């Protein structure tokens, strides 16, 4: 059926949701025809503190009354305050900040810093990763975005993701022992031209199916990087600012990256990002002529929104809340797993949780069609859910409600998901019976 809304829009993804949003508040969105939908995607995992939080609205309004945008060489109080505040939330030696727009850009800047500092150019990522869809970021995004766009940036290599449920090297069964990391580095070394620069990784691989690395994974990754003179870049676009039940995901591993990229969860729905590194790396790169100037670097309005988000997270105790609510969400999903053979795996940290659907638990064949049907049925019943795709596989729900989500909202979402699963399965059985 033709969608009249596409008349003037370039179709940039699989399709648009069959609704038009009129307003949003907290965990809820409201459509132009008056429907209320519980949003368990936090927008694009950006509305960390809930849609249209009053503090963010106030910060944006204040910027509209004072200063929205400046020449990139000019600084404003919100930018200075955000840089100082970010450094205050981070461990040493992360003490130098550049305020940017998107996660893709934050990673591009991270790669530029790493390449300039090391004098090398090869960047290693993890399979099933997502770091953005600009040229450099796309080259080490291994979950999607490669087909049809020609050559990638030279020097991009992949390590097998620590995907214990479907071990990429067919070694482990349910518990990763980091053999994939060791074997992956051996493969990278054999392909490298001797210019290994950095490893970039998400603390939890979100868009690739909410893959949670085992304890000690990043400590070992750090050692392997140091042995080769490589920097460690952590991409916390989707995991930073409380999402995992810690202010930053790398804290859970006791590893401090050389360069940190943050975005989505910093802006609360307003596009703002930042790349953070050490004074030593910053000074070396500046001495070598580091340059990154865009129309909206160091913009006041997004910086004001970022400050408001950090305020709300700290004042409302949302880091600890995410940990508690996440534990409850996982327990409810595990109950659902007991009732449905097709719920193959439940995994996650804090309020970033994955539910992988399979045809049956023994064979573990990905139930892509079922996932698509359940997504549609959830939305029809008033719950926005997101199936993520990695390669040819699209069977994992990425569940990421706002950190402000209530237990009642979690219970309601689980009821809807349960009903949607039952309805989709019943519909599938009727179709099969009719075909027979």
Q: What is the mean pLDDT of residues 176-205?
A: 97
365, with CB counted inside 10 A (0-12, 13-18, 19+), is: exposed
Q: What is the arithmetic mean of pLDDT over 286-312?
A: 97
Partner residues linked to 419 by β-bridges: none
For the segment 167-190, the average pLDDT, to the nearest whole number, is 93
pLDDT over 70 (residue 350): yes
Instruction: Please tell me the pTM assigned to this model.
Output: 0.96
pLDDT at residue 1 is higher than 70:
no
Looking at residue 174, its pLDDT comes to: 82
User: 134 phi and psi, to 5 degrees?
Assistant: -80, 170
pLDDT for 142 equals: 92
Mean pLDDT of 168-187: 93
Confidence of residue 391 (pLDDT cuts 50, 70, 90): confident
Q: List phi, psi (to 5°) of 413.
A: -60, -40
Q: Is residue 141 over pLDDT 80?
A: yes
pLDDT band at 187 (very low <50, low <70, confident <90, very high): very high
At residue 13, the pLDDT reads 82
229 conformational bin, left if phi > 0, alpha if psi -120 to 50, beta if neither: left
- Per the prediction, the chain carries an average pLDDT of 95
Domains of the chain: 4-52+318-435 (3.90.1150.10), 55-315 (3.40.640.10)
H/E stretch holding 3: none
pLDDT of residue 4: 87
pLDDT at residue number 436: 67
Residue 310: its pLDDT value, please? 98
Q: What is the pLDDT of residue 150?
A: 87
Sheet holding 273-278: strands in order across? 94-100, 273-278, 259-262, 231-235, 196-201, 122-126, 156-159
**pLDDT tens-digit profile of 244-277?**
999 999 999 999 999 999 999 999 999 999 999 9
Which residues have CB under 8 Å from 117's CB, separation 6+? Answer: 231, 281, 284, 285, 288
Interacting residues of 168 by C-beta distance below 8 A, sequence separation 6+: 127, 160, 161, 180
- Cβ–Cβ < 8 Å for 50, 406: no
pLDDT beyond 90 at 82 = yes
Quick one: pLDDT at residue 431?
Answer: 85
Cβ atoms within 10 Å of 381's Cβ, excluding its own: 15
Q: First vs last Cα of the chain: how many Å apart?
A: 28
pLDDT band at residue 86 using 50, 70 and 90 as cut-offs: very high
User: Per-residue pLDDT averaged across 291-312, rounded?
Assistant: 97
The pLDDT of residue 356 is above 80: yes
Label residue 393 by pLDDT band (50, 70, 90).
Answer: confident
Considering only residues 308 and 3, tell me which one the structure prediction assigns the higher pLDDT: 308
Angle at alpha carbon of residue 73, lines to 72 and 76, rounded to 5°: 85
Distance (Å, rounded) from C-alpha 121 to C-alpha 128? 22
In this predicted model, what pLDDT tens digit does every residue of 93-132 receive, in sequence order?
999 999 999 999 999 999 999 999 999 999 999 999 999 9
């Amino acid at each position: 059926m033709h969608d009249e809304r596409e008349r003037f829009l370039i179709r940039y993804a699989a399709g648009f949701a069959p609704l038009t949003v009129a307003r949003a508040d907290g965990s809820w969105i409201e459509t132009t025809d008056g429907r209320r939908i519980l949003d368990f995607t936090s927008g694009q995992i950006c509305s960390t503190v809930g849609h249209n939080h009053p503090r963010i609205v106030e910060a944006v309004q204040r910027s509209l009354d004072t200063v929205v945008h400046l020449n990139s060489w000019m600084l404003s109080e919100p930018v200075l305050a955000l840089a100082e505040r970010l450094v205050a939330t981070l461990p040493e030696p992360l003490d130098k900040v550049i305020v940017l727009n998107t996660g893709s850009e934050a990673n591009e800047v991270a790669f530029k810093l790493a390449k300039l500092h090391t004098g090398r150019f090869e960047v290693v990522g993890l399979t099933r990763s997502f770091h953005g869809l600009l040229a450099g970021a796309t080259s080490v995004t291994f979950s999607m975005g490669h087909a049809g766009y020609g050559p990638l940036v030279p020097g991009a290599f992949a390590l097998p993701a620590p995907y214990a449920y479907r071990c990429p090297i067919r070694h482990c069964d349910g518990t990763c022992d980091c053999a994939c990391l060791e074997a992956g580095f051996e493969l990278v070394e054999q392909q490298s031209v001797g210019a290994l620069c950095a490893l970039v990784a998400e603390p939890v691989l979100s868009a690739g199916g909410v893959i949670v690395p085992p304890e000690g994974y990043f400590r070992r990754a750090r050692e392997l990087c140091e042995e080769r003179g490589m920097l460690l870049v952590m991409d916390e676009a989707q995991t930073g600012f409380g999402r995992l039940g810690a202010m930053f995901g790398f804290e859970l591993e006791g590893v401090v990256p050389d360069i940190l990229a943050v975005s989505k969860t910093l802006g609360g729905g307003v596009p703002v990002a930042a790349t953070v590194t050490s004074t030593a790396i910053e000074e070396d790169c500046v001495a070598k002529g580091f340059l990154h100037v865009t129309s909206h670097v160091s913009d006041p309005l997004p910086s004001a929104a970022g400050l408001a988000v950090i305020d709300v997270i700290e004042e409302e105790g949302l880091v600890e809340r995410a940990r508690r609510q996440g534990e409850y969400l996982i327990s409810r999903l595990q109950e659902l797993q007991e009732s449905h053979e097709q719920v193959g795996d439940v995994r996650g940290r804090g309020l970033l949780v994955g539910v992988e659907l399979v045809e049956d638990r023994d064979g573990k064949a990905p139930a892509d069609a079922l996932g698509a049907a359940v997504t549609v049925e959830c939305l029809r019943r008033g719950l926005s859910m997101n199936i993520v795709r990695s390669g040819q596989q699209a069977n994992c729900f990425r569940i990421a409600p706002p950190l402000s989500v209530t237990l009642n909202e979690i219970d309601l979402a689980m009821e809807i998901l349960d009903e949607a699963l039952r309805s989709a399965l019943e519909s599938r059985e009727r179709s099969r019976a009719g075909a027979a």
